[in-house]
Structure 1
Amino acid sequence: MTALHDAAPGAVPAVGDLADAYRYCRRLAAEHGKSYYLATRLLPERRRPAVHALYGFARTVDDLVDVEATAGRPAADCLAELDRVESELLAAVAGAPRRGTRAAVLAVADTIDRYSIELDHFTAFLSSMRMDLPGAPGYRAVYGTMDELREYMHGSAAAIGMQMLPVLGTVTTVAEAEPAAAALGEAFQLTNFIRDVGEDLRRGRVYLPADELSAFGVDADLLRDCQRTGRTDPRVERALAHFVAVNRDYYRRAEPGLAMLDRRVRPGMTAAFELYAAILGEVEDGGYRVLDRRAVVPRRRRVALTAPRLLGMLAATVR
């Protein structure tokens, strides 16, 4: 990417710099978010760069806080880098991008301006990412209550849904559609937590709230024992069944929001809704064996769920 020169207050990046930034985000989505990237191909062409920018920014930040993937890089260095990302974003949104500003930051700052996206959705996302970073203020390896987990999910999931909303477009006001978009983000996130209990446990994290686990006689030690021995335990199964039921309530609250979306993106988002919700059924059908394996919707069912919706989206884009 062409580096930005120092910009005076109120200046905007040169067209070439911005175009390079969007191309970078597009490549990032194509290389690292293949399913996500393919889904964006079904959106109206003019909306795709903004969706790539949102992905590029989230991916850039996620890579910074993934200490395990950065070969043991000190958490303090990751935190300092995260702070710099936020500083770069605030400067770019204010119209004064700094020399060396990351491409994803440039692109997302332009997207924020073009689609009038609330900056708070991005600062909330950054706050939640700090909660994943050891040594950062507010870092949590475990969550005591659902309220604590929802504080995290507000930035990690609900805010993402609300970032996307102005880009996708609505047939209502954005404000009217935001609660459902937030609920859908949280529904997807909670599904991830249920599906990835084993993976998160190996990384020293338990996202499912401790107080609700303990109501079924489950704690981190029992989870680790089941993971180590490969055995199942009725207490764990009952706890996971509870969280599946809670998760389905999130989907119920999110579902009315699908009808609020622009008709051209509605089929694709409905497909995503149904596909993610289907993961919960796979968890149930697999006997809640999430500590030593990952629940996956079989390819045949994925096609059955998504093909009609994607065809509907294709039809909507040419009307």
Structure 2
Amino acid sequence: MSVSATQNAASRDALSAYGKKTIKQGSKSFALASLLFGREMQADAQMLYAWCRHCDDVIDGQSMGEDAPDAEMTAAERQRRLDRLRENTRRSLNGEPVGEPAFDAFAEVAARHHLPKQYPFDLLAGFALDAEEACYETLDDTMRYCYGVAGVVGIMMAILMGVDRDDEETLDRACDLGLAFQLTNICRDIYDDARAGRIYVPAALLGAEGVAADPASLLDETNKERVWRVAISLLDSADDYYASASAGVRRLPPRAAAAVAAARNIYRDIGRRIREGGPDVWRARVAVPGARKAMLAVSGIVTGVPSSLFLKSLKTPPRGALWRRQSMQ
């Protein structure tokens, strides 16, 4: 191996270690699921996650998504941060050094997989909705946000897993999984977001329950049952996207199918806990215990691998009336 090749391998190893550390800190569920990938795919997925996590944290003023978004950050400061993220992302995609591990990791992955530039900038456009303090009047508005911050991540991850960049049908299913994840996130974090001055739940759904679309109304104890019913409505929508995404798992390589099925099972269980926990479920953070995560991951392996090996050629059912993705640019 030449000196240059040795240096490149060492650099990739360092960036891979950074990605692995980030995903372990930022998402235990995704970290567990990613262990089912092969070595190279695992490193790529973790490095892409590290860039996504970094961008999200910068916009929100968070650390690994653990704490609530910084409610004191001004819109002007968020815009300044967004502009910097866009510039560094542009430089990374053009092969220019940035000198920050999140962007160096992203540049490595984007180059290896010829990642279309549209998708990273769609993600940043999703974060821009936070910088602009966007309001979400309808479910369609919320779905557009979900695409920008999560659906597009599903698309990029699918490309890393070997899905052809022109295979729109399979990319749609990958997007659906991201949409389902984000709808689940919105329901899990509904009170944390309200305390930070943010509402991602459609105002129309809240209004149907007699709840005003403002943080004070969401945080009003007398509205907790109404808010819970709105969350259940969103989780019903999430289930439609989980079902659609499940039909696309068989289009992935076996180990990728196992990992995606595992992540789907774990995240969907968060919604189940909200349903079964009732209006008081948010008194503690809604989370899936480690032992159950392991069980759900094993279930993902049991269903994901055979579907990839034996059902790949079957035609996927139509998506029907589900929300259809479109570029944020």
The reply to whether TM is greater than 0.5 is yes
Distance 1:37 1:292, change over 3 A: closer
Distance 1:272 1:25, change over 3 A: closer
Residue 91 (structure 2) aligns with: 91
Residue 227 (str. 1) matches residue 219 (str. 2):
yes
Whole-Å Cα distance in 1 between the matches of residues 220 and 99 of structure 2? 45
Kindly report which structure 2 residues correspond to 1:110-149, keeping only aligned pairs within 5 A, or say none: 110-133=108-131, 138-140=132-134, 142-149=135-142
Residue 57 (str. 1) matches residue 51 (str. 2):
yes
1:96-135 deviation per Cα after TM superposition (whole angstroms, max 9, x unaligned): x14x4322212212211211222111001111112222xx
Distance 1:238 1:59, change over 3 A: closer
Seq. identity, %: 28
Structure 2 residue aligned with 1:277, among 260, 263, 268? 268
Per mean C-alpha deviation after superposition, the further-off stretch among 26-35 and 52-61 is 26-35
RMSD of Structure 2 on Structure 1 (CA)? 3.1
Distance 1:215 1:35, change over 3 A: closer
Instruction: Assess if the C-alpha contact under 8 Å between 1:51 and 1:164 holds in 2.
Output: yes
Shift of 1:74: 5.4
Instruction: Assess if the C-alpha contact under 8 Å between 1:184 and 1:254 holds in 2.
Output: yes
Residue 107 (structure 1) aligns with: 105
Instruction: Assess if the C-alpha contact under 8 Å between 1:20 and 1:103 holds in 2.
Output: no
Residue 45 (structure 1) aligns with: 39
Structure 2 residue aligned with 1:184, among 160, 177, 182? 177
Whole-Å Cα distance in 1 between the matches of residues 50 and 122 of structure 2? 17
Distance 1:290 1:125, change over 3 A: farther
Whole-Å Cα distance in 1 between the matches of residues 218 and 81 of structure 2? 37
Per mean C-alpha deviation after superposition, the further-off stretch among 278-287 and 153-162 is 278-287
Whole-Å Cα distance in 2 between the matches of residues 88 and 313 of structure 1? 36
Helix, strand or coil: the match of 1:176? Answer: helix
Q: Which runs of 5+ in 1 are unaligned?
A: 1-13
Helix, strand or coil: the match of 1:267? Answer: helix
Please tell me the residue identity of whatever aligns with 1:244. Answer: L
Scaled by the length of structure 1, what TM-score is found? 0.80
Residue 162 (str. 1) matches residue 160 (str. 2):
no
Instruction: Assess if the C-alpha contact under 8 Å between 2:265 and 2:300 holds in 1.
Output: no
Please tell me the residue identity of whatever aligns with 2:79. Answer: L
Count of matched residue pairs: 294
Please tell me the residue identity of whatever aligns with 1:87. Answer: E
1:224-265 deviation per Cα after TM superposition (whole angstroms, max 9, x unaligned): 457354x56553343333222222112222221111111112
Instruction: Assess if the C-alpha contact under 8 Å between 1:286 and 1:295 holds in 2.
Output: no
Residue 18 (structure 2) aligns with: 24
Shift of 1:26: 3.3
Instruction: Assess if the C-alpha contact under 8 Å between 2:159 and 2:165 holds in 1.
Output: no
Instruction: Assess if the C-alpha contact under 8 Å between 1:67 and 1:75 holds in 2.
Output: no
Instruction: Assess if the C-alpha contact under 8 Å between 2:211 and 2:218 holds in 1.
Output: no
Shift of 1:206: 1.1
Instruction: Assess if the C-alpha contact under 8 Å between 2:30 and 2:263 holds in 1.
Output: no
Scaled by the length of structure 2, what TM-score is found? 0.77
Instruction: Assess if the C-alpha contact under 8 Å between 2:258 and 2:301 holds in 1.
Output: yes
